[in-house]
Chain A
C-alpha cells in the first residue's frame, strides 16, 4: 500500500530524513517511535505534502501511484489522511462546511454527486458521538478555541468521516488524558480493516496499550534503525533510546 524507499527530506535547508525505508501493507498497524528531533513528524508532513518540506531523494509509492508527484489534495482524495499533531485553527470557516467539502471532494473523485445535507448531518452527528465530541462543535469555526483534546477528537472525526485507506497519526496521543486516549483508540480500532492501514507516530508506549501495533519501528537520525513487534516498544519504554542511538552510531 505504502512503500517508502531511501527517502531524504530537508526543512529550511536542514536534512531531517536521511534514507528512510518503510513498507506498509493493507490491514497493518505500524508504530513509529523515536527520540525528539529524529524526524518522526517530518515523515508525516512529507507524506502529506506540507509546503516547506523538500524531498531531496527517494521514492514513495502509495496505492501504486508516485505519491510525491501528487498535490496535497490529490493524496487526500486517493485515501491518505494525516491527523495533525497541531491542528490549525481557522475562524470563519465552519467545521461542518469544511467536513462536507472534504467528503464531497472524495465523492467527486469517485464520480459521485455531493452528499445531500440531511445524510451528511446525520452521519456527522453520529460520528461526533463516537468520538465524544459535542455536535455543537460542528457549527464552530474549524478548531477555533478548541482545547487540545477537542482538536485531537476533531481530527479523529474527520478521519472517520473520510474513511481513508491509510491513516497517519502524528502524536495524536500527546496531551490527552487517559479517557480521551481511550476514545481515540476506540475510534481507530473501529476503523481497522483488512484493506486499511495505520501509521502511528508516538513518543510513548502508552498509546500502544490501546491500539496494538503489528510492527514497531525506531526512527533515529532520520532513518529507521530498528524494527520489531510490539515487544520492542516495551523494551524502549524500559531502556529509553540512548542505547539504540549508540548502537547505530
Chain B
C-alpha cells in the first residue's frame, strides 16, 4: 500500500463514538482492499491523482484565526454552522436553531440521535466500490445531520461552512453532511467550502447525502471556493421520493485538484430535479464534475445546465450521465454543458453520456466548447465599451445565466458581486490581456 493509502487511516479518530465504529471498520476494510484509480480507469481518465501523493496529516483542532487567515465568512441570513479544518467552530456558529429542523453534530449525538443517523447515513451514497466514500467512512468522526421535520417550511437557508485554514503541514479533512427532508418539507441548504489565503496544502474528502421524502423540496447550493493547493474530492448524492423536488446549484473555483461527483436518484414518481453549475479554473488548476442523473421510475423530470470558463493552462472535465431505467417511462431529461476557453492552452473534456432503456422518454443533451463570440464583442464595443470591459461582460454573462437560477436572493446577490469583482480583475476568466 503506498504511503497515501496508508496515511489517511492514521487520521481516523480513535476517539470516535462507539456507534460509528462499524462504519469505521467497514470503511477501513473497503479502503484497504481498493486500488487507486489510474488514467485507465474510465471515471478518472482525465483527472490524475498525482497531487494526492504527498503525506496528509490529520488536521489540528487548534484555533485558526479566520480574519487573519483572510477567510471571508459571508452571511446569507438563516442559520450558520462553521467548521474549521473539520472541527466545529462554536465561536463562528449560530446558537438559536430555527424551527422545524434539528441540527445534530455527529460527535455530539445522543443515543436516539445516533440511532436516527445510523438509519439514514449511507442510504443515498451506497457502499459499493466508491473509493473515497470508503475513506470517508473509515475516517468518520464529525459530521452534521440536518433533520428537517415533515411539513416544515424553513424560509431562511441552513448554511454549513467548511473552512480549511493554514496549518504547518499538509492536512486532510473528511467532511460529512446528511440532510433528511421530511415529507412535504421545504428548505434551503448552502454548503460552502472555502480556504485561507496563501499557500496551504490540504485535502478535503467530502460526502454529502440528501434524502428527500415524498413531496419535499430542497434547494441545495454547494460552493467550492477553495483555491491553490487545497485539494477536494467530494460527492453529493440525492435520493428523491415521490413528488420530491431538488433544485441545486454548484460552483467550483479551480485548485490543484478538484473532483466533484453528483448523483441524483429519482426513486419516486413525479420527482423533479434541477442541477446547475459553474466552474472557473485558471492557471494550472483542474476541476472535474461528474454528474449522474438516475431515472428509475416513470414521470420524473430532470434539467441540468453546467457552464465553465477555462483560462490559462487550466483543465476541466465535465461528464454528464443520464441513466433512464427500463421502467422510467415518460421521463423528460435535459442536459446542457457549454464551455468557454479563454486561452489556447486551456482544455476541457466534456462528455454527455446517455443510457436509455425505456422507450417512451424525451431526452435532450448538448455540449459545446467555444471562445467569446466576435460579433457580440463588436456589438458591445460599437457602443463605446472597451474591449476589456466587453470581454468581462460577455464572459460573466455566459455564467450569469446560470447564477440567475439561484433561488436564494442573498446568495445570488453575493455570488454576483463576488464573481463580478473576480471577473473585473482576472483576465484569465475573460480572455483579456493582463
Q: Point out residues on A near B: beta carbons under 8 Å.
A: 48-51, 71-73, 75-77, 81-82, 84, 87-88, 90-93, 97-98, 101-102, 105-106, 109, 141-142, 158, 162
Q: Within the complex, which residue of A50, A90, A93, A102 is in contact with B384, where a contact is CB–CB below 8 Å?
A: A102
Q: Which residue of A lies closest to B377 (CB)?
A: A51
Give the interface SS of chain B, mostly helix, strand, loop or mixed.
Answer: helix
Q: Are A90 and B376 in contact (CB under 8 A)?
A: yes
* Pick from B379, B382, B389: contact of A101, CB under 8 Å: B389
The minimal Cβ–Cβ distance linking B171 to chain A, given in whole angstroms, is 39
Of all chain A residues, the one with the shortest Cβ separation from B395 is A92
Question: 29 A-B pairs, CB-CB below 8 angstroms?
Answer: A48-B382, A49-B381, A49-B382, A50-B378, A51-B374, A72-B382, A73-B381, A73-B390, A76-B382, A81-B383, A84-B379, A84-B382, A90-B376, A90-B379, A90-B394, A90-B397, A91-B401, A92-B397, A93-B394, A93-B397, A98-B380, A101-B380, A101-B393, A102-B385, A105-B385, A105-B386, A105-B389, A106-B384, A141-B397
In the complex, A53 Cα to B383 Cα: how many Å? 18
- Using CB atoms, name the residue of chain A closest to B393: A93
Which of B381, B389, B401 is the most central at the interface, judged by chain A CB atoms within 10 Å of its CB? B381
Task: Give the bracket for the number of chain B residues in contact with chain A.
Answer: 20 to 34
Q: Are B379 and A92 touching (Cβ within 8 A)?
A: no
A73 to B400, Cβ gap below 8 A? no
Return chain A residues, CB-CB under 8 Å to B390.
73
**Which of B375, B378, B384, B393 contacts A97 (CB under 8 A)?**
B393
Q: How far is the CB of A136 from chain B (nearest CB, A)?
A: 15
B83 at the interface (CB under 8 A from A): no
Closest 10 interchain pairs by CB? Answer: A92-B397, A105-B384, A76-B384, A93-B397, A102-B383, A88-B379, A72-B381, A92-B401, A73-B381, A92-B400
Indicate if B118 sits at the interface (CB-CB under 8 A). no
Residue B396 is within 8 A (CB to CB) of chain A in the complex: yes
Judge whether B387 is part of the interface by a CB distance below 8 angstroms: yes
Which residues of chain A are near B376, meaning CB under 8 Å?
88, 90
B399 close to A (CB within 8 Å):
yes
Complex Cα gap A142–B401 (Å): 12
- Chain A residues near B383 (CB-CB < 8 A): 76, 81, 98, 101-102, 105, 158, 162
Q: A90 to B381: give the CA distance in the assembly, Å.
A: 13
B79 within 8 A of A: no
Given A51-B374, A88-B376, A90-B376, do A71 and B381 touch, yes or no (CB 8 Å)?
yes
Whether B379 lies near A87 (C-beta < 8 A) is yes
> In the docked arrangement, what's the CA distance between A79 and B382, Å?
11
In contact, A82 and B384 (Cβ under 8 angstroms): no
CB neighbors of A among B317-375 (8 A)? 374-375
Complex interface residues of chain B between 124 and 177 (CB less than 8 A to chain A)? none
